[in-house]
Amino acid sequence: MSAVPHGQLENFYEAAFVGLKALDSRAGGARRFGPNADARWDLFKGEMKERDRLDLLIRDAAANHPAAFAPRCIFLLDGLAEDEPFGPEWPGPDAALALRLWRDSHASAPSSLGE
């Protein structure tokens, strides 16, 4: 698997986060964000961190929307199964980026593509 440059990796996570918020907004229920989602995460997370939560949410979204959320499609990563969005060598977001995204997660979701 080829390495994804750090700037592109950060852009991917920022865009995926906005996409996840838009999916939540469109569904009419806060499945991924908000107090109920935070409470479920607190019960589930164990030793996992915010970066793990972000990857789990992206992995879930990639099952139904691979062209938008699966790095194997976005970055044309070779050698991955159709149901594997990341692969074992995927670096994931750095801790600072994940913390920043979760800190901002309570901001309202964009209501249009222009936003």
pLDDT in tens, the chain (115 residues): 457 877 899 999 999 999 998 888 887 767 888 888 889 999 999 999 999 999 999 999 999 999 999 999 999 888 899 889 998 889 999 999 999 998 877 666 555 556 5
111 inside domain: no
Residues 42, 102: contact at Cβ < 8 Å? no
47 inside domain: yes
55 inside domain: yes
Nearest-angstrom CA–CA distance, 89 and 110: 32
- Number of compact structural domains in the chain: 1
The reported pTM is 0.82
User: What pLDDT is attached to residue 107?
Assistant: 61
- Quote the domain boundaries for residue 68: 6-106
115 inside domain: no
88 inside domain: yes
Query: Nearest Cα to 105, choosing from 25, 21, 15, 16?
Result: 21
Residues 85, 71: contact at Cβ < 8 Å? yes
1 inside domain: no
